[in-house]
């Protein structure tokens, strides 16, 4: 189905009369300018100059850098397996089959998104990765390899990092990874009691903070989010 861009624009104008959208830098004037680095699994890492992985000095402060990370062999194998898992059921016809197909596709979409981050996020796959060490965790995920390069460089330069994820399981994996690297971190998601949230934010933002990484759920603004 196609989207009527003109009607979409009209709807945005109508919503604009009732909703106020503000960015963080519009609310907090003292917030420093930042560099955004996007890590994707869509292309080969060879597209990106290697210096982007170790230094941002030559980049303009408001630049958005896209780093493409390839899937590792294990991810490719599991990706194909998930796609072929319910292929017979997806090929069936009829109203009941269409309803089932929609549920299968919705579930498949979530599983593939998790797999692009790390195979450990997919249920029943954790046993394939072997013992949990930094080496084995990196070997199972192309995206984590790129993230590891970036974080080690930023840690050496005494930066602080905020990592966002929609999956609390990914935050748990990153917390384990940080512990194995010996990095101090704090976490902010729907499982954190509201009374503790301000403390966690202030502890990370303090001038002499011992925390290097702030792990945050993109859904943590609601009530008991995942």
Q: What is the pLDDT of residue 52?
A: 37
Instruction: Give the whole-angstrom CA distance, residue 122 versus residue 113.
Output: 9
Averages of pLDDT over runs of 10 residues in the chain (226 residues) are: 79 79 67 61 42 37 66 90 79 70 84 91 68 88 92 92 90 94 91 84 89 87 44
pLDDT of residue 84: 85
Q: What is the pLDDT of residue 58?
A: 39
pLDDT of residue 43: 45
The pLDDT of residue 81 = 87
Is-above-0.85 flag for pTM? no
**Alpha-carbon gap, residue 108 to 7, rounded angstroms:** 31
pLDDT at residue number 38: 60
The tokens of 107 are what?
A: 């579930």
What per-residue confidence (pLDDT) applies to 48? 40
Structure token digits, residue 42:
């869509």
* Residue in 162, 146, 187, 168 with CA at minimum distance from that of residue 54: 146
pLDDT of residue 86: 75
The pLDDT score that the predictor gives to residue 148 is 94
Phi/psi of residue 203, nearest 5 degrees: -65, -40
- pLDDT for res 191: 84
């Amino acid at each position: 189905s196609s989207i009527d861009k003109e009607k979409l624009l009209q709807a945005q104008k109508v919503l604009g009369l009732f909703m106020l959208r503000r960015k963080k830098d519009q609310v907090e004037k003292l917030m420093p300018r930042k560099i955004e680095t996007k890590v994707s699994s869509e292309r080969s890492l060879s597209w990106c100059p290697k210096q982007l992985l170790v230094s941002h000095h030559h980049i303009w402060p408001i630049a958005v850098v896209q780093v493409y990370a390839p899937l590792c062999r294990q991810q490719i194998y599991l990706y194909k397996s998930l796609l072929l898992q319910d292929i017979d059921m997806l090929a069936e016809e009829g109203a009941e089959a269409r309803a089932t197909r929609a549920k299968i596709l919705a579930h498949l979409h979530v599983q593939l998104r998790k797999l692009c981050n790390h195979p450990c996020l997919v249920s029943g796959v954790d046993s394939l990765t072997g013992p949990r060490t930094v080496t084995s965790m990196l070997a199972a995920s192309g995206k984590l390899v790129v993230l590891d390069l970036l974080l080690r460089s930023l840690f050496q330069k005494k930066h602080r990092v905020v990592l966002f994820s929609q999956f609390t399981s990914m935050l748990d994996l990153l917390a384990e990874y940080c512990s194995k690297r010996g990095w101090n971190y704090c976490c902010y998601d729907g499982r954190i009691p509201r009374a503790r949230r301000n403390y966690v934010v202030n502890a990370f933002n303090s001038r002499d903070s011992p925390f290097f990484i702030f792990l945050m759920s993109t859904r943590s603004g609601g009530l008991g989010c995942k």
